[in-house]
Amino acid sequence: MKKFMNEPGNLLIESINGFAAAHADIISFDVSKRFVRRKSLVPGKVGLVSGGGAGHEPMHLGFVGRGMLDAACIGRIFTSPTPDQIVAAAQAVDAGSGLLFIVKNYDGDRMNFQMAGEMSGLAIDTAIVSDEAVQTSPEDKSGRRGLAGTLVLEKILGAAAERKLGLKTLLELADRVGSATRSMGVALTSCTLPEVGRPTFDIGEGEMELGVGIHGEPGRKRVAMRRADEIAEEVVRAVAGDMVFKGNALVLVNGFGGTPLIELYLMYNAFTAALTRHGFNPVRRLVGNFVTSLDMAGCSLTVSALDDELLGLWDDPVHTAALRWNA
């Protein structure tokens, strides 16, 4: 294993220090509690706090700034942040209009954010991200993992909070976005944990994993490697079959960290052709590495049906390390 690092145990803190120095105009880094917060808070807006294990960069720390998150807590690689980290972050960005936790649907994340809410003594509500396309009813969120749809929810809720909409309205928006957003990933290789030094799972040279999670969790099935158009059709069929809404949509093709952009754009081309056949009209698009799994080769497709209100919130200005437009 070849990695740019000094001691494996120091990789995370040295990386976050570098991130904080590179984006000091946008964020501040609390070293003792390991959270990043927006440099300039806005009085009177709902504070948005998210977080999770490291290894998914630029999620979540790269989504802190104008028009998205107010704070993000960073756990160890693929490990939830601790409740005391989350409490400290919430206290740091409380502007007096309540707080909203945005939490991916994993047991550790849900438990620690719930504990933090109870410990903080602050007015906090929670939005759960569960955008994975699975073979259950659209209303059943229990088995759906939070994937790259996390970015979509954080952007739209961030825009709504920037407009100083209230906590009740943000929760209603979270439900709408959650119902209209589905994701599915495909892994070509495993990822490698720096402190372990070997892949987290074995996958043959001629195989791929359909429906993989962002920590390398098993997917729907292990199949033989296929042509890009065939992969796109199967993924789109699964995503489209799990969605209630069609028509105008945001299409996010997200890399897992080890796939070059030339392949991600090829997959965007294949995905959009398949989506059009299935009744979607891509009106907004995003391609790149946003919700990664260290060095895993592969990508995910996220489709979010957008009505006029959600489209306007998506287009609102954003200025973070990872997303910037109209700012």
Order of strands across the sheet that contains 207-210: 221-224, 207-210, 181-187, 298-305, 247-255, 280-288
Among the four given CATH numbers 3.30.1180.20, 3.10.100.10, 1.10.10.10, 3.90.1150.10, the one describing domain 181-305? 3.30.1180.20
What pTM was estimated for this model as a whole?
0.95
Catalytic residue among 23, 56, 60, 319: 56
For residue 10, the tally of other CB atoms under 10 A from its CB is 11
Domain boundaries of the chain, sorted by first residue: 11-179, 181-305
Q: Is 278 a catalytic residue?
A: no
Do 181-305 and 11-179 fall under one CATH topology? Answer: no
pLDDT digits (tens, 9 = 90+) for 6-55: 999 999 999 999 999 999 999 999 989 889 999 999 999 999 999 999 99
pLDDT reported for residue 167: 97
Does domain 11-179 fall into CATH 1.10.3210.10? no
pLDDT reported for residue 138: 52
Catalytic residue among 23, 60, 215, 319: 215
Regions of the chain short of the pLDDT cut 50: none
Residue 315 tokens read as 């287009």
**Rounded to the nearest 10 degrees, how much is the dihedral formed by the CA atoms of 148, 57, 260, 198?**
-110
Q: Which residues pair with 100 in a beta bridge?
A: 48, 125
